[in-house]
Amino acid sequence: MSSNDQYKRQIMNDLAGGNTESLPDESASLENYDNFDDFAQRSSRDERRDLFSRSFQPDRVSSAQMEPELQRAIAQIKPNERDDVAREFLSHFKKRSLSDRDLEKQLGLSTHHASRMNADDVSKLANFAYHNHPDVFHEVLADQPAIVKFLSNPLVGAAMGAIAAKWLGRK
């Protein structure tokens, strides 16, 4: 059995046995959500930002693990959602004096227009934010949580395990 399979099995055994991580007190409100889609739709932007800020840190999920996950997740979201994600990233970067044309050149994007970007371009923006501007990354995830539901890496899953444990524990 691979270490990845062992890791997944251990997480599931911990969750099934009630062995869960606890989040800080503000996590009590998470119990009011049935699943991630419900959380994404009904939670406040601040709740999502706080959760994603705690969960998606380079010291918890390395860039080498996050990059392929982001690429796969962004490829799976709807094109109009992908455009929104690109617009959000570009808007935040513009506030930091990073122009869309400069990012196009620096990151090797196919275009500097958010509505014309493909999944690879948006992945490059997301990876750039994760590496260099984690606060921007968290802000965009809070505004566009659709990406998160397509992340599947066991380490990302473990970061979200506390929420899953609450949902599973109530059923």
Domain boundaries, the chain: 44-170
Higher-pLDDT residue of 35, 68: 68
The pLDDT value recorded for residue 41 is 74
CA distances from 70 to 14, 85, 95, 100, 142 (A): 26, 12, 23, 20, 15
pLDDT at 15 over 70: no
Tens digits of per-residue pLDDT, 72-117? 889 999 999 999 999 999 999 999 999 999 999 999 999 999 999 9
pTM above 0.85, yes or no: no
Say which residue, 171 or 126, is predicted with more confidence.
Answer: 126
**pLDDT tens, 137-162?**
989 988 887 777 777 655 455 555 55
